[in-house]
Amino acid sequence: MTNRPAHSTLASLGWSSFFADQVKVSEADLAPRRIASVHRARIEAIDATGPAKVELSASANTADFAVGDWVLVDPLSSAFVRRLDRKTVFQRRPEVGRSRQLVAANIDTLLIVTSCNADFNIDRLERYLIMANEAGSTPVIVLTKADTVDDVGQFQIQAEALQRDLAVIAVDGHSTAAHTLLSPWCGVGQTIALVGSSGVGKSTLVNSLTGLESHQQQKTGTIREYDAQGRHTTTARSMHIIPGGGLVIDTPGIRTLFVSDVTDGIETLFSEITELAPLCRFRDCTHTHEPGCAVQAAVKSGTLEAGRVERWRSLVSENRDRTPVVSGPRGNKIAHKKKY
């Protein structure tokens, strides 16, 4: 976190009216700071002058903060006052019964990173897309290690077919061209976050984007030859300034991403299915065996792939099984309300 934007302003760090509007008149003397890294016992931040402190009380839990959060602090003591509401948040529930883990907040674009090797997996990408849609940020698929395959086009075609209007780019993460390819999402004040399995090249991309000297770079690690799995080199989430504009958040590799707590992220991924549903004869059609089912009709006519419908069904059911049920006066219902 050592680069500084050429003209350092809060806006170049992602500050906007969305956050400014939350500051009350009585809070005008407080200083806004953006969380740049979260550790077990402390958090680090940044403001227009560079790295800045946020002092938490002894009882605070750093797990309540996400990299990318905006907080208000006392400008003299750096004592934490409050966190501002998030514009977007990427979070995941690692296991049923455990609380959700904050991966990154206030991100404009979520870069789902996968490599052109054994890591490339449709089922995995669909899960990332659902959780990215749910986060409220635009997903982009980044195919790394494009330099290691003869035909990157076959990966690109499969990835583009996953969701309507999905941007897919192929890169050699070591090359300076990676910066140019990602520049549409790295405008001044824009925040991108990199997520994906260990070893796909997230930190390698961060280093290419920030252009830092080797001693300041994110550590990168080797992968196993036979299955392309990395060794979980990155262990903490951190935010870095991209010279020329934008901020990038590096995250540790995720072993398995489960779908849970989703309200509309699945519908966005499978929009061609959800758009047909109102045309089915029955309002509660499950699109399996019902007469007058528009989804099954589309499969029969060849305009919709049967595999897509199967994957939609299985992801809907995974979401149902992994989302905690809150009991209320009107009986059990799924926790549907989005809360950032």
Ligand X SMILES: Nc1nc2c(ncn2[C@@H]2O[C@H](COP(=O)(O)OP(=O)(O)OP(=O)(O)O)[C@@H](O)[C@H]2O)c(=O)[nH]1
Between the alpha carbon of residue 115 and those of residues 83, 110, 144, 175, 208, the distances in Å are: 36, 16, 4, 15, 16
**Using the rule CB under 6 A, which residue among 5, 32, 199, 265 binds ligand X?**
199
Minimum distance, C-beta of residue 142 to ligand X, in the bound complex (Å): 10
Q: Which of 4, 53, 124, 232 binds ligand X (CB under 6 A)?
A: 232
Give whichever of 143 and 259 is closer to ligand X, judged by the CB atom.
143
User: Measuring CA to CA, how many Å separate 9 from each of 201, 211, 213?
Assistant: 30, 21, 24
Q: Which of 64, 74, 147, 321 binds ligand X (CB under 6 A)?
A: 147
Q: Is position 314 an interface residue for ligand X (rule: CB under 6 A)?
A: no
Q: Strand, coil or helix: what is 233? A: coil
Q: Binds 259, which of ligand X, Zn ion, Mg ion, none (CB < 5 to 8 A, cut-off by type)?
A: none
Q: Which is nearer to ligand X, 136 or 173 (CB)?
A: 173
Q: How far apart are CA 102 and CA 69, in angstroms?
A: 10
- Contact call for residues 74 and 30 (beta carbons, < 8 A): yes
Decide whether 139 or 173 has the Cβ nearer to ligand X.
173
Q: Which amino acid is at 227?
A: D
| Interface mask toward Zn ion for 295-324; x: CB under 5 A | x-----------------------------
Distance CA 308, CA 299 (A): 10
CA dist., res. 6 & res. 109, Å (int) = 22
Binding mask 253-272 for ligand X (x = CB under 6 A): x-------------------
β-strand 191-195 against 109-115: which pairing, if any? parallel
Contact pattern for Mg ion over residues 188 through 227, marking x by CB under 5 A: --------------xx------------------------
Among ligand X, Zn ion, Mg ion, none, the one that 308 touches (CB under a kind-dependent 5 to 8 A) is: none
Q: How far apart are CA 38 and CA 264, in angstroms?
A: 29
φ and ψ of 91, to 5 deg: -140, 160
Q: Does 115 bind Mg ion (CB under 5 A)?
A: no
Report the alpha-carbon distance of residue 296 to residue 317 in Å, rounded.
19
- The whole-angstrom separation of Cα 333 and Cα 254 is 29
Q: What residues make contact with Mg ion under the rule CB under 5 A?
A: 202-203, 233-234
Residues that bind ligand X (CB under 6 A): 144-145, 147-148, 172-174, 198-204, 220-223, 230-234, 252-253
